Amino acid sequence: MIQVRRLQPVDLDYIFQNAESLGFHQNTMINKLENIMLVIEDNNICGIGLYINYEDKCILNRIYIKEDQRRKRLGTILVKTILNTVEHQGALQAYMHGSCDEFAEYLGFQKLSDSNQIIDTKMLYQEIFNDNISDNIFKVSLIDYFKPCSHQ
């Protein structure tokens, strides 16, 4: 069974022991523990995602699925759960970056091309996560991202 849920106290030992291999710095995580979602399959943590709501934006950071668990749609499940959560909290757009451009595009994100918007978003990542990013940045509108079943 696949489950996506917020980080719970029982998960902390595992997360702190594996923080570096998951692409996290412990000092970045400690202040943002309530914004971590896990994807779990058969009681094993398979992936992790960190996000922050900032004004009407969701900033995704460090979406990670274990190597041996990839190609099972766990990343898609994790990101869509985060997007659904933040949409209900009022986010109108979401940003992400990472080494897998195809994954971002598969989820409907579009690569930023406006240099001012790229600079502003990189500064936002620096401010929120103390993270200097050099890879591509992607954006998606959450307005109508999750269409009701009645929309065809």
Mean pLDDT, the chain cut into blocks of 10 residues (152 residues total): 91 78 60 81 90 91 86 94 95 88 94 90 83 86 83 54
Here the tokens at position 146 are 């999750």
H, E, C per residue of the chain = CEEEEECCHHHHHHHHHCCCCCCCCHHHHHCCHHHEEEEEECCEEEEEEEEEEECCEEEEEEEEECHHHCCCCHHHHHHHHHHHHHHHCCCCEEEEECCCHHHHHHCCCEECCCHHHHHHHHHHHHHHHCCCCCCCEEEEECCCCCCCCCCC
Would you state the structure tokens that stand for residue 96, as one six-digit string? 């992400």
Which pLDDT belongs to residue 25? 61
- Residue spans of the domains in the chain: they are 2-141
Structure confidence at residue 75 (pLDDT): 94
In contact, 99 and 135? CB cutoff 8 Å: yes
Quick one: 2-141 is in which CATH superfamily?
Answer: Gcn5-related N-acetyltransferase (GNAT) (3.40.630.30)
According to the model, what pLDDT value does residue 130 have?
73
Say what the pTM is.
Answer: 0.86
Q: What is the pLDDT of residue 16?
A: 78
Residues 47 and 36: beta-carbon distance below 8 Å? no
- Partnered with residue 95 across adjacent β-strands are 59, 139
Look at residue 133 in the predicted model and tell me its pLDDT.
80
Extract the tokens encoding 32: 């943002």
